[in-house]
Chains A and B, each alone.
Chain A
Amino acid sequence: MTRKQKRLSVIAGALAFLGAATALTFYALGQKASYFYMPADLQAATLEPGQRIRLGGLVENGTIVRGQGTEVAFGVTDSEETVKVRYTGLLPDLFREGQGVITEGSFGSDGVFVADSVLAKHDENYMPKEVADSLKEKGVWQESAQ
């Protein structure tokens, strides 16, 4: 190979590598990004069975039911709609009624949202940003609720 050909083949190799990495990245973004919904958004959404989403809202008052062992069920509401959520595991320190939470998981066949992770805010100064923004949009945000 001449020097020029050699250089071209190196550049072609590097470009092919970058191309493959780019393709992989965009494929992964399409497949693995999970969307955020509030309960009232769900009717408009088309979800494939088992698709992972993040569901956010407030823990509805009086809906926390503790089951066997570490099972727990609660309602997540945005004051329009409520979704029933089932979760097994340790709840975050700041999980309580009226608290903004984000749960991640997918809908089971019985229409109950099965969460495998529940996030509450890290401290008393904020609510999960997505929840706060959506509540503001819906006009049910109260500064005092902070």
Chain B
Amino acid sequence: MVEMGHFALVLALVLSLVQSLVPLYGAYKGDAKLMAVGGPVTVTGFAMIALSFAVLTLAYVQSDFSLVNVWENSHSLKPMIYKFTGTWGNHEGSMLLWVMILSFFGALVAAFGSNLPATLRANVLAVQGWIGTAFLLFILITSNPFTRLIPAPIEGKDLNPILQDIGLAVHPPLLYLGYVGFSVCFSFAVAALIEGRIDAAWARWVRPWTLAAWVFLTGGIAMGSYWAYYELGWGGFWFWDPVENASFMPWLAGTALLHSAIVMEKRSALKIWTLLLAILTFSLSLLGTFLVRSGVLTSVHAFASDPSRGVFILGILTVFIGGSLALFALRASSLTAGGIFHPISREGALVLNNLFLTTATATVLIGTLYPLVVEALFGEKISVGEPFFNLTFGPLMMPLLVLVPFGPLLAWKRGDVAAVAQRLMFAFGAALLVVLVTFLFIDGASVFAALGAGLATWLVLGALTDLALKAGIGNVAPKVALRRFLGLPRSVFGTALAHLGLGLTLLGIVGVLSFEKEAILVMKPGQVLEIASHRLRFEGLQPVRGPNFTEDQGRFSLLGPAGQPVAEIVSAKRFYPVRQMPTTEAGIKTLWLSQLYISLGDEANDGAVVVRVWWKPLVTLIWGGTLVMMAGGFVSLMDRRLRVGAPAKRKSADKKPSPVAT
């Protein structure tokens, strides 16, 4: 059974090699038969990798310790859900998931790309094949999950307890769907460079892939953030940890790509820039994979470090990033340049967005790589953390956020800032009011908090203003406005939702950073703590035995106004005997949008225990906002234009789209 998975993986490598070469040669020679090989080979390759992944999953579910990988990362007493998710809770399995998702996207292009020009489709599949080949080689040579262990041990070494959480079921698959989804944009870009042709239709094909990848990456990052928040027991939602930055950089670049692709599609301008962004975004995904998987950095994500792996991924990185950029340098000048446009226009606003976002990406990149470079060159160990990013990333984001509501309201070609400003008067007035109210009436509000809350209001109301104006609310009869509102293109809703979500996330961040309350104290049973006008009573510690751990549960009662308990919060210190490892299980109580967060520390004398309690106002908005952003991306993906706008198959078969004149 296990050998079947191993064999399927080797077969996938062979198929991937065929996928890399045959369609490419076919496109070069103009041979339709050779080009047509790409589709079936890609789909079969995906089937093989999926089979291989299923076999590995089965080995985990059945606790087959004759596999080194299962023995090192599983245990027969582990709850079933973690046996299942544990498949990718280790280096080898997670790389297999990576490749499976890559080939899944390749198969999607093969299945849904029937309306693409044949040569473009063949080249895109070939480039996907190159990436697949590189990573399949990586898995088979350095990180084979199917390595056997003889004789098979009776019991496994268990999964890192931090990973024994539902977050593992959601965070890595979503993140990889995002990371790897950008490979399609990359392949489209490289294929366009190989063909030496790029037009507005190209942007229309690339945009849905970018959107889909962006939606997943947004979800993956947000889920990772929430997971770290509740599992690590430190109560933070973002640490500017290099590993987090590794996923944040493709997100920033992908967001820029999303916006520049609109300009390319609508105005056939910014072609070369969009192409470059598509390459850079996936390059940053690869860099992220390198940083996380090579063991260069130590973090919860670095399962085990093995220098040969780092060197191998670095090789892949160099070949793909260097190769695609060299191809870009050679070919970009042969592409038709885009049109010139007025700086004050929708296009101009989107360019400004790109300027800010790519600069911000560069800042994060420098902050993340600088310590590695300094250590390699001078042997000095430094760390670049939150203070650096607050000083650089923050000031870059603020003006961008201020400008966001203007963008969708500006007209294409030539906009009128004064007219747009007038339309945004209401949002501006409300934001100003929020600034004043926050500053004057909320205790302990700093200028930063007031301005932050105002900025968030500005974003939310700006997005709503956009929708209201486009529906004509206030200008036409309510009935007409409602009909117009429902008839708005979905991409308009998508934009508004995404910008609104951004505002909500910002509000959550401002709420936590400015109004968080924290208490660290030793509590005896029966003692009452008052924090942010909530009263908590410590009821005592109680030992509990779980399936593969023991824990001391600290029970707390949230007291109502009359002193009666209204809710119970349980926070625990867990111990996993197999790995000899303690973990903190935070007790979290959500009260509307805010949360009470309790972490247990060491036990003191006579049943007393060190307790750390936070009041986190509006904290849930941080992740709620990202859900709204994702919804925006999803709605936009459903837009009619993206579904039926691409040229129909019949047309493209006999007539290739000609480059759009500028």
Contacts and interface: CB of A to CB of B under 8 A. Distances in A.
A109 interface: no
B170 interface: no
The main secondary structure of chain B at its interface with chain A is mixed
A28 to B, nearest CB: 4
Contacts of B385: 32, 34
B482 interface: no
A40 B420 CA distance: 62
A25 B343 contact: no
Interface in B297-355: 297-300, 302, 304-305, 340, 343, 355
Q: State which size class the interface on A falls in.
A: 35 or more
Contacts of A90: 520, 599, 601, 610, 612
Interface string B596-619: 000101100000001010000000
A33 B371 contact: yes
Contacts of B388: 28-29, 32-33
Interface in B395-416: 395-396
Contacts of B359: 17-18, 21
B44 interface: no
Contact of B381 (A36, A70, A88, A91): A36
Interface stretch (B277-285, B428-436, B458-466, B574-582): B574-582
A126 B298 contact: yes
A25 B612 contact: no
Interface of A: 3, 6-7, 10, 14, 17-18, 21, 24-25, 27-29, 31-36, 54, 69-70, 88-91, 93-94, 122-126, 128-130, 133-134
A93 B522 contact: no
B521 interface: yes
B370 A29 contact: yes
Given A33-B370, A36-B382, A69-B521, A25 B298 contact: no
Contacts of A7: 340
Interface residues of B, number: 47
25 contacts: A7-B340, A17-B355, A28-B388, A31-B387, A32-B384, A33-B371, A33-B383, A33-B384, A35-B381, A35-B382, A36-B382, A69-B520, A70-B601, A88-B520, A89-B520, A90-B599, A90-B612, A91-B602, A93-B583, A93-B584, A122-B162, A123-B160, A124-B581, A129-B297, A129-B298
Given A7-B340, A70-B601, A32 B387 contact: yes
A123 B305 CA distance: 14
B299 to A, nearest CB: 7
A33 B395 contact: no
A128 B298 CA distance: 7
Best-surrounded residue of A32, A35, A94 (most CB of chain B within 10 A) = A32
Contacts of A29: 366-367, 370, 384, 388
Given A122-B162, A122-B298, 15 more contacts: A6-B343, A29-B388, A32-B384, A33-B383, A54-B383, A70-B610, A88-B520, A93-B583, A94-B582, A123-B300, A123-B579, A124-B579, A126-B302, A129-B298, A133-B381
Contacts of B580: 124
